[in-house]
C-alpha cells in the first residue's frame, strides 16, 4: 500500500480502538510499498473483520507478538 493509505488506515484503526498508537510502525518493504506492523495486544479477530472490507491482509507473528497489515 502507499504510505498515505497506511497512515489513513492507522488513523482509522486508532479511532475504532482496534490499535494503540504507541505500538504501530510503518515499514517500507522490498517492493517499495508500505506495510503496517502493530502489537497484537487487542482482539485480532476484530481487526480481521475490519480488514475484510478492504483488499488488505493481516499476518500474525505469534513469536514476536505482532501483526502485519499489507496489500498482497
Report the C-alpha gap between 3 and 16 in whole angstroms.
Answer: 20
When divided into structural domains, the chain yields a total of 1
Range of the domain at 52: 3-70
Each residue's pLDDT tens digit, 4-57: 999 999 999 999 888 888 889 999 988 899 999 998 766 789 999 999 999 999
Q: Is 53 exposed, middle or buried (0-12, 13-18, 19+ CB in 10 A)?
A: exposed
The pTM (predicted TM-score) of the whole model is 0.87
How many helices (H) does the chain have, and how many strands (E)? 2, 4
Report the C-alpha gap between 15 and 63 in whole angstroms.
Answer: 27
Amino acid at each position: 500500500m502507499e504510505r498515505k493509505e497506511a497512515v489513513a488506515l492507522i488513523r482509522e484503526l486508532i479511532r475504532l480502538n482496534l490499535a494503540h498508537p504507541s505500538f504501530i510502525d510503518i515499514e517500507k518493504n522490498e517492493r517499495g510499498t508500505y506495510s503496517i506492523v502493530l502489537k497484537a495486544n487487542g482482539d485480532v479477530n476484530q481487526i480481521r473483520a475490519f480488514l475484510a472490507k478492504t483488499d488488505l491482509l493481516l499476518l500474525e507473528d505469534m513469536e514476536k507478538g505482532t501483526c502485519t497489515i499489507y496489500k498482497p
